[in-house]
Structure 1
Amino acid sequence: LDTVKYLLDIGAKFQLENRKGHTAMDVAKAYADYRIISLIQEKLDNLPKPAESQKLKGKPPPKMKTEG
């Protein structure tokens, strides 16, 4: 538990997926370790929420050339 706390505190990328597509939360749930689930959930709850305008800032799709 101390190791998980340490890794989260130093900024471990806990949202990444392993080769099987599982996140740290998925693994914690698979092992039913509610202490770790709580730690990860707390970090998830404290992540900054993306503003609506930031979601829309992606590059627009390329325009197709039309012959006129």
Structure 2
Amino acid sequence: MADDKVRGPASYFPSIEKAYGRPISEWQRFVRDAYPAKHMELVALLKTEHGLGHGHANAIVAHTLAQDGLK
């Protein structure tokens, strides 16, 4: 029996969208627009400029960097 449960950073996405009212694609655009910043700089950007909590910001950044092969 396959386990289809979403794991890793993407598991936070439904709660991020609900809490902040924006789709993940929009948060990823903010991250990509700030390239070539480092991981923690991107997390800080989402926290300070957009009010995200640390865990949510970190999940978006980690997932986006992995998607873009920059992990």
TM-score using structure 1 length: 0.36
When Rg is computed on C-alpha atoms for both structures, the one with the higher figure is: 1
Taking CA–CA contacts closer than 8 Å with sequence separation of 6 or more, which of the two structures ends up with the larger relative contact order?
Answer: 2
Task: Output the TM-score relative to the length of structure 2.
Answer: 0.35
